Amino acid sequence: MYKLPEDFYFGGATAAYQCEGATTEDGKGEVIWDKYLREKGELNPDPASDFYHKYPQDLELCHEFGINAIRVSISWARIFPEGYGKVEKRGVEYYHKLFQKCHEEGVEPFVTLHHFDTPQVMQDEGGWLSQAMLDHFVDYAKFCFDEFGSEVKYWITINEPTSMSSQQYIGGTFPPGIKYDFNKCFQAEYNMNLVHARIVELFKQGGYQGQIGVVHALQTVYPMTDSQADKHAADLQDALDNTFYLDGTVRGKYTPEVLSLVQEIIEANGQKMIEVKPEDEALLAKAAKDMDFVGVNYYFSKFMRGYQGKSEIIHNGTGEKGSSVSRMQGVGEQVNRTDIPATDWDWPIYPKGLYDQLTRLKDRFGWDKDVYITENGMGCKDKFLADKKTVEDDERIDYIKKHLLAMAKAMADGVKVKGYFVWSLQDMFSWTNGYTKRYGLFYVDFETQERYPKKSAYWYKKISETKEIGELETVQ
């Protein structure tokens, strides 16, 4: 029986826009999602799980269920409704109260500065493509370190730079909803890597207490077959999904192999390659050395085939199994293997991908400091059992258990994982799927805002108490 260390964090993850609700309360400024969702008219981010008002209850549940850490994000627009300048005191007060309650309940807050919710005024300036936004983001980070520094030990600069930029500029499912602009996608990532590095240096040179890291979505990429075309498609997809920003933030240097893959993708789409500046690389190298931890979000792996046609991406936002399409010009085609189970949203369930990704961080990118699994979990169409007042989510338990074992196997092989956060703590708003895709340990009735522990919450409590997660041999 493998036992996790006594000081291991068993966390639950959230993000401001997905759980807080209250999108116009207490002077909060508009964020990119407000306008985008309003114009589309399909999904409503209010009331989400009303964490803005319900956080005391959620933190009490954490305490009761052995959850000793929580990932939360600060909404930039609650503090600076215009992105910079005038501070909204009520927003600042809310986060003080939130962190205070975390400490009262013995729940360590891991705080993300940006989790997909760019203030609209900043997007109007050009978002991650504009120097003005990058500069204001650094100022906002400094404000948070000064204001909340004594309450927060663990800081995360940006959540998933790559999923943000690829969904903004390639998939078109995140505002501003642009498709197949690979130049903009890589430029936004480049800028995020750089602004992340500036903030790490600001934190370190400012002598703030605590630790700072970044959170990456690391979906492992494999070729479908041993053919040259499939292997090359996997390398290209890997550059798009992982290696460009791992080079930028973890290695601290863009390697020629990765840059040549990036160039191949951009040029195959008739677009202009981005420029890598030596002075930027010097900063990346310094920040990679100074950064304290890497956060890994892992949900699924990808299997690639060579593909020569035009780009076509169809997003499965409803849970209609088999409806996703992802083939990109100059990259390859993603196909699900029939021998690997997938969720209703077509995400292959492949715990070995987590093991491979974690060991690669150490072996290929030379990362030998702390790692946190900052998100992992299973989105399901949960059925609430009114008589039992719970959800019997055995599938989710199985998913989490297998991924914990994969994580533990990587730990046994030398990866320093210090904590694991289930996505998500409670059911909440999903960016492109609304309320039908539930991930929580706690079921939320979105009408009444009542919380009900799912079977997985009871199971997680037991794991957190005993630290026993099963036999490592069963990892596959």
Q: Which is nearer to ligand BGP, 2 or 439 (CB)?
A: 439
Which member of 68, 118, 120, 159 binds ligand BGP (CB under 6 A)? 159
Binding mask 357-396 for ligand BGP (x = CB under 6 A): ------------------x---x-----------------
30-59 residues in contact with ligand BGP (CB under 6 A) are: none
The Cα 166–Cα 291 span in angstroms is 24
**Token digits for 183?**
């130049």
15 binds ligand BGP (CB under 6 A): yes
The Cα 155–Cα 147 span in angstroms is 13
- At its nearest, how many Å lie between ligand BGP and the CB of residue 428? 8
431 binds ligand BGP (CB under 6 A): yes
- At its nearest, how many Å lie between ligand BGP and the CB of residue 449? 19
| Part in contact with ligand BGP (CB under 6 A); list of ranges 39-47, 119-127, 325-333, 425-433 | 425-433
- List all residues 6 or more positions away from 29 whose beta carbon is below 8 Å from its beta carbon: 77, 78, 80, 81, 82, 83, 88, 119, 120, 121
- List all residues 6 or more positions away from 43 whose beta carbon is below 8 Å from its beta carbon: 37, 429, 432, 433, 434
- Vertex 95 angle, CA 436 and 128, to 5°: 70
Q: Are 30 and 78 in contact (CB under 8 A)?
A: no
433 binds ligand BGP (CB under 6 A): yes
Residue 101's φ and ψ, nearest 5 degrees, are -65, -40
Q: Which of 375, 392, 395, 447 is catalytic?
A: 375
163 binds ligand BGP (CB under 6 A): yes
Cβ density class 382-404: b for 16+ within 10 Å, e for less? beeeeeeebbebeebbebbbbbb
- At its nearest, how many Å lie between ligand BGP and the CB of residue 423? 5
Dihedral sign (CA 220, 188, 20, 139)? positive
The Cα 96–Cα 341 span in angstroms is 43
- At its nearest, how many Å lie between ligand BGP and the CB of residue 146? 26
Which of 26, 76, 16, 96 shows the shortest CA–CA distance to 48? 16
29 binds ligand BGP (CB under 6 A): no
427 binds ligand BGP (CB under 6 A): no
| Part in contact with ligand BGP (CB under 6 A); list of ranges 81-89, 233-241, 395-403, 424-432 | 424-432
Which member of 112, 162, 193, 430 binds ligand BGP (CB under 6 A)? 430
Q: Which is nearer to ligand BGP, 50 or 160 (CB)?
A: 160
Count of residues binding ligand BGP (CB under 6 A)? Answer: 15
List the end-to-end C-alpha distance of the chain, in Å, as a whole number: 17
Nearest position to ligand BGP, beta carbon: 430
- At its nearest, how many Å lie between ligand BGP and the CB of residue 116? 6
| Part in contact with ligand BGP (CB under 6 A); list of ranges 42-50, 89-97, 158-166, 238-246 | 158-166
Which member of 58, 117, 160, 427 binds ligand BGP (CB under 6 A)? 160
| Part in contact with ligand BGP (CB under 6 A); list of ranges 281-289, 333-341, 409-417, 423-431 | 423-431
- At its nearest, how many Å lie between ligand BGP and the CB of residue 347? 8
Q: Which is nearer to ligand BGP, 120 or 430 (CB)?
A: 430
- List all residues 6 or more positions away from 48 whose beta carbon is below 8 Å from its beta carbon: 17, 18, 19, 20, 21, 428, 429
Q: Which is nearer to ligand BGP, 230 or 427 (CB)?
A: 427
Which of 354, 335, 348, 338 shows the shortest CA–CA distance to 476? 354
Clarify whether 375 is annotated catalytic: yes
287-306 residues in contact with ligand BGP (CB under 6 A) are: 297
For tokens 């404000």, name the residue: 143
Q: Are 451 and 406 in contact (CB under 8 A)?
A: no
The Cα 171–Cα 180 span in angstroms is 7
Q: Which is nearer to ligand BGP, 167 or 269 (CB)?
A: 167
224-263 residues in contact with ligand BGP (CB under 6 A) are: none
Helix ranges restricted to H, 179-255: 182-205, 228-238, 244-246
217 binds ligand BGP (CB under 6 A): yes
Which residues are catalytic, by number?
375
Question: Which residue ranges make up the site for ligand BGP (CB under 6 A)?
Answer: 15, 18, 159-160, 163, 217, 297, 375, 379, 423, 430-433, 437
